[in-house]
Structure 1
């Protein structure tokens, strides 16, 4: 008897909660007064927030028949990767917010003697240095009087540009587990790429052949008034044109701002939903995107005895892309060659 009464009470409670939620979400003609604001929509998305990370299958060292380390880059300007830069759920915002809350650890990407590539997660990068690398540190602002004299100064916090990060670098291992007969990639780390702000430098790196400017003219200032070149005479030999950088400046490669350890980041990504351009009901988290490989990327390096990147032995951009595709195909061919049909 007591069990029946308890079941009835619980059922009435659940019905009241559901009816309250339905009333809150329905197009009712009567105003609904509640302590909490109304729900924004007709469906409460709670499945992503409550998800847990599904761990990888364990791998023994003796079961690894083949392993290859690969570095690749994700360009957010690619149509397939535009969800990573969505203002509703930008990947960079999620990473920085988790670092500031202490949920993620940032690692210094500076190459050292024991870590030539700077991606071995050896040195922790403090939060203030993380923000300084992103351009969000404090700046000194001076105060002036009517005579243009400095009368004081103070520090103001500067917001970092979220749109400045347009690429991510991934470090991963391709492993063939002979025990499970599975050939799969496993991401180790992710790094947002930033371009150092160097005066006169630009990412395009075009070079032109021009006459050297006068000593009082800045060659890297696109708004500087260039002095007119005087016609040469037999008494004055012509100045030989020399290759210098144009107004676009020399080429500067994007470098990692910091590294995050992917197995640690999975516990953050699993509760962050990815925005889909086709449907709002995606049900996909950032952990799903990386595990299921729902992104476009190109390889910039594979493990080799000389520790060379693709651009170290191939200079042409198109040939680099073809080399990246060749490495991808070689990995796929390895798996296909394991089986006979």
Structure 2
């Protein structure tokens, strides 16, 4: 008797479970149908009597452009295909404890005059500044100041060339013989201008616009400098004069390996000094104690290695030494030779 009662209870429980499962499935199906119907009604733009269309994303009425009007004005404020002007964004409040002096009227001190007859000894060398070294981290400072001017060193050079404050020279040689325009620099960094077809996503108007690739200034990781070390016998001191600065661009092989690093353009450093005196250098130890870029170069607050000295064959170190470590040692030997030249002139 107990077994019969237990079987009946078991069958009743299974029947209740099946009925409940079917009811739940029916409820889910009806909910999905109602949701799909609501989605269909919301995705279809509703037209109003005044020939406007309701934007389903915002719910606002939008007037469509007149059909067959080729000269319709784009609804976007900047237009499509028109390059947006990258104007500096000035700070509207004092970004700090006190307001900084925005008048950049600093003038570099003139060099001491060295007569031709007082040049007892002279050595011309070429060095490379690698901004990935720890001492050269200020060259990577990529922020904007209160006036919205970018502080990256390569951007300072390009902006000075663009505004005509300094003239660039073609890297065909390092004697500053062939001037180079800003348009030519743009062609080398961003490629040739090309005309492409663009469609306005709002008006649907088709235009032919001129564009070019965007230049990434972070790809410049080395700078080449040309300088002269001279011993002034009147002042009895060894002095250095930087003649030129050139950003280096890398040329990559098809397999991704580095083929060569070549100068992008040359800038005559004495002409660049007034421009560099206007820009501050980032000080990672004290933001209040800043100096200008002109001070950084004149006080030699950078790390570099020699890649060439003036020689009879006009060769760089890499042309006769293949090992990288031996090149660095040879460049350091050239620096030591210059240092010892001054020390050997004194008697103790």
Between Structure 1 and Structure 2, whose CA radius of gyration is higher? 2
Matches of 1:48 and 1:187, distance apart in 2: 27
Matches of 1:266 and 1:154, distance apart in 2: 39
1:204-261 alpha-carbon deviations (Å, 9 max, x no partner): xxxxxxxxxxxxxxxxxxxxxxxxxxxxxxxxxxxxxxxxxxxxxxxx1110000000
* 2:295 alignment partner in structure 1: 288
Evaluate the alpha carbon distance shift between residue 196 and residue 141 of structure 1 in structure 2; reply closer, same or farther with a 3 A threshold.
farther
* 2:161 alignment partner in structure 1: 99
Choose between structure 1 and 2: higher helix proportion: 2
263, 267, 272: which one aligns with 1:260: 267
Matches of 1:294 and 1:161, distance apart in 2: 26
Evaluate the alpha carbon distance shift between residue 330 and residue 87 of structure 1 in structure 2; reply closer, same or farther with a 3 A threshold.
same
Q: Could you say which structure has the greater relative contact order, defined with CA pairs below 8 angstroms and 6 or more residues apart?
A: 1
Q: 1:64 Cα deviation (Å)?
A: 0.3
Evaluate the alpha carbon distance shift between residue 136 and residue 273 of structure 1 in structure 2; reply closer, same or farther with a 3 A threshold.
farther
Evaluate the alpha carbon distance shift between residue 165 and residue 48 of structure 1 in structure 2; reply closer, same or farther with a 3 A threshold.
farther
Tell me whether 1:85 sits opposite 2:136 in the alignment: no
Tell me whether 1:185 sits opposite 2:185 in the alignment: no
**Secondary structure in 1 matching 2:106:** coil
Evaluate the alpha carbon distance shift between residue 125 and residue 198 of structure 1 in structure 2; reply closer, same or farther with a 3 A threshold.
farther
Q: 1:139 Cα deviation (Å)?
A: 3.5
Superposed, 1:162-177 pairs within 5 Å as 162-177=217-232
Q: 1:277 Cα deviation (Å)?
A: 1.3
Q: 1:338 Cα deviation (Å)?
A: 1.1
Q: Is the 8 A contact 2:196 2:209 kept in 1?
A: yes
* 2:126 alignment partner in structure 1: 71
**Secondary structure in 2 matching 1:195:** strand
Q: Is the 8 A contact 2:226 2:243 kept in 1?
A: yes
Tell me whether 1:54 sits opposite 2:109 in the alignment: yes
284, 296, 309: which one aligns with 1:277: 284
Unaligned runs of 5+ residues in structure 2 are: 1-90, 144-150, 200-205
**Secondary structure in 1 matching 2:121:** strand
Q: 1:283 Cα deviation (Å)?
A: 2.5
Matches of 1:255 and 1:135, distance apart in 2: 16
Q: Is the 8 A contact 1:70 1:299 kept in 2?
A: yes
* 1:302 alignment partner in structure 2: 309
Question: How large is the Cα RMSD of the aligned pairs?
Answer: 2.0
TM-score normalised per structure 1: 0.68
**Secondary structure in 2 matching 1:81:** helix
TM-score normalised per structure 2: 0.67
Aligned residues: 245
Matches of 1:337 and 1:47, distance apart in 2: 47
Q: 1:137 Cα deviation (Å)?
A: 5.2
Matches of 1:62 and 1:47, distance apart in 2: 43
Matches of 1:59 and 1:45, distance apart in 2: 37
Q: 1:200 Cα deviation (Å)?
A: 4.2
